[in-house]
């Protein structure tokens, strides 16, 4: 670089030197800051002491040189002395000139240096304070590090202990799992054996059930045969008695001249043959037919009300007359018997209701496995089962009630010729509910004995006998099961 004068070169060099000093100082300060930061980060106290000593040395250098002026020394050789004096004079002149020219620049430089040194001092104090705090923080960090190391050590120990326990538990679990697998295998084997055993049991139960059903069917057939045998025994006994009664009645009628009208039974053989064709339980239809014949009433003109009709033909006291062309009203409370009645007695009026002393009520009707024993009277059912343990209740149904008077008023223009009553209940209450002044049939057939699984002798219901006598009816015949009553008012011509 070229200068126009020596003064410009001197000033430029002076300023460059000062700028270099400032740059070095700034660089030193930045280095100190970086070193302090390194000290803080590395936490090494020995290095901080070295840095502090270096900073003190630099500050001392700055103090010593803050008011310095440039010095120019000439060599002391002898041949330089004349030149030296000349140069001295020249230098003095130049110095005076430079001092006058550079005085203001020097003053500014001195002020700058005077400002830098205290600043560096303050900075040094701040650095000392920071280092002090850094030392405290380092101690605190050391303590924290020590605690962290301790916690890590304890955690590592606990983790190692926990892992040991986990390994032990895992081993025990594996052993337990193996035992469970063995037990499951045993359970599966036991289940298969149980299924096989259950299958065998089911087969045995099926066989037992089949045997039980066969036994029940055989028992039912046996009971049916026993009942048939009893019925046959009763029938033969009652038939013999009936034949005797018929013969006596015929003899009596012959003596009284009744048979002189239109009698069709002229011999004992004809009466017996007629009895063999009976469908009634004890020949009641034969006796009733005999009475109608004696009174000159054709069988087809007989009207009837059958209370407790049961089967359409078997043990029926009215089917004989239906077969001859007569028609009437059949009342049956058991709904399972209605289809049979409608099939074989389709020209009769068939009512599925329960006879009572009041109409329009719903009552429970007990259907038993024994034929002709179903009834709304629970007490009567319990007594029958007590007498015959083979009886049982098959089911209970709800049935509407009707009175006899309502049926007679609805379905008959006048009283029927014949009323048959077999209700397996409180028959005396039904008889008392009838208006006997309005409804007076010629003949009444009514069951007179209690239920027994054997032949019943000497247990006739006297209450029914007394009541019917009180309403002016007379017993004509007793078949051992049913009594046949005649209206005294309608046969007064044959009464003495």
CATH number (domain holding residue 322): 3.40.50.150
- Domain for residue 82, yes or no? yes
Whether residue 480 sits in one domain with residue 352: yes
* DSSP-derived secondary structure for 249-290: HHHHHHHHTGGGTT----SHHHHHHHHHT--SSSSHHHHHHH
Whether residue 416 sits in one domain with residue 276: yes
- Tell me the three state secondary structure of residue 392: coil
Element (H, E) at 354: strand 354-355
Whether residue 146 sits in one domain with residue 270: no
Q: Tokens representing 67?
A: 């008011």
Residue 74, phi then psi, degrees to nearest 5: -95, 150
- What mean pLDDT do residues 290-314 have? 93
Whether residue 270 sits in one domain with residue 123: no
Give just the sign of the alpha carbon dihedral 341, 302, 289, 291.
positive
CB 417 within 8 A of CB 443: yes
In the structure, what pLDDT confidence band is assigned to residue 229 with cuts at 50, 70 and 90? low
Predicted pLDDT of residue 328: 96
Report how far apart the first and last C-alpha atoms of the chain are (Å, whole number): 188
- Domain for residue 14, yes or no? yes
> Of 119, 154, 189, at which residue does a domain stop?
154
DSSP-assigned letter for residue 4: S
- Domain for residue 396, yes or no? no
- Domain for residue 225, yes or no? no
Predicted pLDDT of residue 375: 85
490, burial (CB in 10 Å: exposed 0-12, middle 13-18, buried 19+) = middle
Segment 252-284, tens digit of pLDDT: 555 555 444 444 444 444 444 444 468 888 889
Whether residue 146 sits in one domain with residue 277: no
- Domain for residue 162, yes or no? no
Predicted pLDDT of residue 426: 74
- Residue indicated by tokens 């089962």: 385
Q: Of residues 132 and 71, which shows the higher confidence score? A: 132
CB 351 within 8 A of CB 308: no
Give just the sign of the alpha carbon dihedral 91, 95, 97, 101.
positive
Predicted pLDDT of residue 465: 92
Highest mean pLDDT among 43-47, 53-57, 110-114, 444-448: 444-448
Segment 172-184, tens digit of pLDDT: 888 878 888 888 8
Predicted pLDDT of residue 112: 62
Give just the sign of the alpha carbon dihedral 340, 342, 343, 345.
positive
Pairing of strands 482-487, 443-447: antiparallel
CA–CA separation, 25 vs 124, rounded Å?
Answer: 13
What percentage of the chain has pLDDT greater than the value 70? 64
315, burial (CB in 10 Å: exposed 0-12, middle 13-18, buried 19+) = middle
Q: Tokens representing 93?
A: 């002149």
- Domain for residue 223, yes or no? no
Instruction: Say if residue 446's pLDDT is above 50.
Output: yes
- Domain for residue 163, yes or no? no
> Of 98, 132, 154, at which residue does a domain stop?
154
CB 421 within 8 A of CB 430: yes
Whether residue 275 sits in one domain with residue 143: no
Q: What is the pTM of this model?
A: 0.47
CA–CA separation, 348 vs 445, rounded Å?
Answer: 19
Whether residue 280 sits in one domain with residue 423: yes
**Max CA distance (Å), the chain:** 218
Averaged confidence pLDDT in the chain: 77
* Domain count within the chain: 2
> Of 113, 133, 154, at which residue does a domain stop?
154
Contacts of 231 (CB under 8 A, 6+ apart): 281
Domain that holds residue 484: 265-360+401-494
CA–CA separation, 397 vs 149, rounded Å?
Answer: 92
- Residue indicated by tokens 């007594």: 383
- Domain for residue 351, yes or no? yes
Instruction: Say if residue 339's pLDDT is above 70.
Output: yes
CB 188 within 8 A of CB 181: no
- Tell me the three state secondary structure of residue 426: coil
DSSP-assigned letter for residue 337: G
Whether residue 146 sits in one domain with residue 269: no
Predicted pLDDT of residue 441: 96
At residue 129's C-alpha, the angle toward residues 126 and 131, to 5°, is 110
Question: Across 182-332, where does the E strand assignment appear?
Answer: 303-307, 327-331
Whether residue 471 sits in one domain with residue 327: yes
């Amino acid at each position: 670089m070229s200068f126009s004068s020596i003064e410009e070169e001197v000033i430029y060099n002076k300023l460059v030197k000062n700028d270099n000093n400032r740059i070095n100082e700034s660089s030193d300060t930045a280095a100190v800051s970086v070193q302090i930061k390194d000290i803080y980060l590395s936490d090494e106290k020995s290095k901080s002491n070295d840095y502090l000593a270096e900073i003190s040395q630099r500050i001392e250098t700055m103090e010593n040189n803050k008011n310095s002026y440039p010095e120019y020394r000439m060599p002391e050789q002898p041949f330089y002395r004349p030149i030296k004096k000349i140069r001295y004079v020249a230098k003095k002149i130049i110095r005076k000139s430079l001092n006058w020219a550079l005085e203001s620049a020097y003053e500014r430089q001195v002020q700058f240096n005077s400002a830098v040194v205290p600043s560096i001092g303050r900075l040094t104090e701040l650095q000392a304070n920071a280092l002090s705090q850094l030392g405290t923080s380092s101690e605190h960090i050391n303590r924290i590090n020590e605690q962290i190391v301790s916690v890590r050590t304890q955690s590592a120990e606990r983790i190692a202990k926990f892992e040991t326990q986990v390994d032990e538990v895992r081993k025990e679990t594996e052993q337990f799992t193996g035992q469970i697998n063995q037990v499951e295998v045993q359970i599966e084997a036991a289940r298969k054996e149980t299924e096989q055993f259950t299958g065998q049991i089911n087969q045995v139960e099926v066989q037992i059930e089949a045997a039980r059903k066969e036994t029940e069917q055989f028992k039912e057939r046996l009971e049916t045969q026993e009942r048939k045998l009893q019925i046959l025994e009763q029938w033969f006994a009652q038939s013999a008695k009936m034949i005797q009664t018929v013969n006596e009645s015929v003899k009596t009628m012959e003596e009284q001249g009744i048979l002189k009208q239109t009698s069709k039974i002229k011999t004992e053989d004809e009466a017996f043959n007629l009895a063999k064709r009976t469908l009634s339980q004890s020949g009641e239809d034969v006796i009733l037919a005999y009475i109608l014949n004696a009174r000159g009433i054709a069988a087809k003109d007989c009207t009837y009300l059958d209370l407790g009709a049961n089967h359409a033909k078997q043990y029926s006291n009215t089917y004989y007359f239906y077969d001859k062309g007569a028609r009437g009203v059949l009342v049956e409370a058991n709904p399972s018997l209605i289809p049979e009645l409608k099939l074989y007695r389709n020209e009769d009026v068939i009512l599925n209701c329960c006879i009572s002393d009041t109409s329009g009520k719903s009552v429970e009707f007990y259907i038993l496995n024994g034929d002709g024993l179903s009834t709304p009277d629970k007490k009567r059912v319990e007594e029958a089962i007590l007498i015959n343990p083979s009886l049982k209740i098959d089911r209970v149904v709800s049935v509407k009630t009707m009175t006899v008077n309502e049926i007679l008023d609805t379905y008959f223009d006048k009283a029927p010729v014949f009323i048959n009553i077999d209700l397996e209940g409180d028959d005396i209450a039904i008889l008392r509910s009838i208006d006997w002044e309005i409804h007076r049939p010629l003949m009444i057939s009514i069951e007179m004995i209690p239920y027994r699984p054997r032949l019943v002798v000497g247990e006739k219901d006297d209450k029914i006998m007394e009541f019917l006598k009180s309403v002016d009816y007379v017993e004509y015949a007793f078949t051992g099961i049913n009594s046949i009553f005649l209206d005294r008012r309608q046969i007064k011509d044959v009464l003495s």
